[in-house]
Structure 1
């Protein structure tokens, strides 16, 4: 167990603790009796040595934990709870001397790799902050020369915790900037060429946004819990006000990104529906156009001898001519009815989106026209009533 204590000009202390890691025992299937009998004595001695080393390291961990509990008896239960905990938890309590107490664990992403999430265990009172780490990258970043003046200017330990939280959220901002770039590339790809594989990328961005949301929710919970525990002593400080604005900014970004992804999903669904409708209409038109050839081919394909024009040399030519004339007539009839449109030519996703936006624009114009007409009719109806009122007043 590594322990380092930092005391700042205002009098509050920060104790940095690193958990000791025991050697991970290799998990292997249990050998059978025959394998155990054939096993070389050297390998058995190696296993015994490994077990002995693991036991020594475990005893050292227990000894260091006991020393830590003796040094900080008030947070002995917190030390036990932090062992192997990798979940978010925020708790409020009171210390033995009726001090306000806030403790728990935050899961924070250390680098741009989404799988690199480390626990940040903390124990917080007015003048004392204890943090326990599995990985020393976070405390080393917090103790850098760049951030030391910020911590020196803090008056209390809760204010220092939120300075640290603001520093740790820089990775959060960098991750959201990268997410915004990828989301913009997805929107441009969808605008230029919308294929069926884009829906998988959209859902991948949705899962990525859920990852950042799950990391952000405990931070908001810590912000609210600190406000509940330390009240005006913390909320009136500039540090708390800055972190409040930062969290509101991140919350607004997450909501905006979620709305954009929902819009992309709705657009992809609308384009798929338009495309499916166009395909069904096109297939229906082709079915109607080839219906005469299908019927005539079915009739002339039966096994009967006495069929009309079957013995004439020009019978086949007449049948093909009749099929062509009927098909052309059907196409002209469908075209004049306006049922073909541009289905046989195809439409791109841009044209489909433009058509849907044009239809929405027409609907909004119709709505505005109807509202204006209703206002005019209401005004016309009020004019006779006003005239009758003026006549009554004159009388």
Structure 2
């Protein structure tokens, strides 16, 4: 599909990437030298970017991944070829950009003086799609933060790592868009950097990356809190086991002594031997406990905690 705009530049839109190279040549026969690009259209399915110069004509072409699946190594991508007077897209399905209304986007493109500026409107729509996804990510992050305040368990830790993985996907999608912006500066200089749509898209890129950095900081903070909680709980468990072992060691020692089967054990003939043994065991346990409390080594083990405490 061909789109011609008021400033006499064009957008050659080829929705299906299954079209053969000859068909693309037929549609965009004015390309200065499209041999390498056409080969990449047929073979390349990952991000790449090239800048070519043919005399006074600068060309920017490449491939951009604009959607990734979270659980599969699968993604949607499109190829592009940009000059001052036209740009070509192969494989871009605008309907996949949920917020974008194509006729409104084309109406906006009519205000652009060059194809490069028009392409930045398209990039801006791709970023809008990212921002919608990041807004949904923010909702899941806030929900997780609330659950983390109410409870803390292994399931929540798994959710934190799932969100971290999702944020990596948004980062991987946004960085190539920023690279295209920088490559456009290199290829077209002030001709593009002074335009409204370039500046608007640049701000949108910066906004997207700022959100990603902010949420990355939030997730890192939650992971550090998890590490602190886990470390504290591990220390409390070890401290509890140690204190309980020390407290009951004298009783176990005395019990093991009186459990012996030697013939000459005078304590066995005492009438009050049983009571004395119990009293001695109880006294030894109480003495050890009091000594630990005086040293401050029992900490909060024997104190009741608030139900709202996260360090249970």
TM-score normalised according to structure 2 size: 0.90
Q: Distance in 2 between matches of 1:288 and 1:211?
A: 52
The aligned counterpart of 1:202 is 160
Q: Is 1:104 matched up with 2:62?
A: yes
The aligned counterpart of 2:44 is 85
The aligned counterpart of 2:105 is 147
- What residue ranges of structure 2 are gaps of 5+ in the alignment? none
The aligned counterpart of 2:2 is 5
Deviations 1:204-239 (A, max 9, x none): 111111111111110010010001111001001111
CA contact (8 A) 1:14 1:130 kept: yes
Q: Secondary structure at the match of 2:192?
A: helix
The aligned counterpart of 1:240 is 198
Q: Which moves more between the two structures, 253-262 or 309-318? A: 309-318
Q: Which moves more between the two structures, 318-327 or 331-340? A: 331-340
Q: Secondary structure at the match of 2:146?
A: helix
Q: Distance in 1 between matches of 2:305 and 2:97?
A: 58
The alpha carbon displacement at 1:140 in A equals 11
Q: Distance in 1 between matches of 2:215 and 2:154?
A: 22
User: 1:147-296 residue pairs with structure 2 within 5 A?
Assistant: 147-296=105-254
The alpha carbon displacement at 1:200 in A equals 1.7
Q: Distance in 2 between matches of 1:144 and 1:69?
A: 22
Q: Secondary structure at the match of 1:282?
A: helix
Q: Which moves more between the two structures, 128-137 or 229-238? A: 128-137
The alpha carbon displacement at 1:72 in A equals 4.4
Q: Distance in 2 between matches of 1:186 and 1:163?
A: 35
Q: Secondary structure at the match of 2:154?
A: coil
* Larger of the two Rg values belongs to structure: 1
Q: Secondary structure at the match of 2:201?
A: helix
The alpha carbon displacement at 1:79 in A equals 1.5
Q: Distance in 1 between matches of 2:69 and 2:298?
A: 56
CA RMSD of aligned residues (A): 2.8
Q: Which moves more between the two structures, 279-288 or 306-315? A: 306-315
Q: Which moves more between the two structures, 188-197 or 201-210? A: 188-197
Deviations 1:155-209 (A, max 9, x none): 1000000001111212101110011111111111112212233222111111111
The alpha carbon displacement at 1:330 in A equals 2.0
Q: Secondary structure at the match of 1:102?
A: strand
Cα distance change of structure 1 residues 20 and 9 upon mapping to structure 2, 3 Å threshold:
same
Q: Secondary structure at the match of 2:13?
A: strand
TM-score normalised according to structure 1 size: 0.72
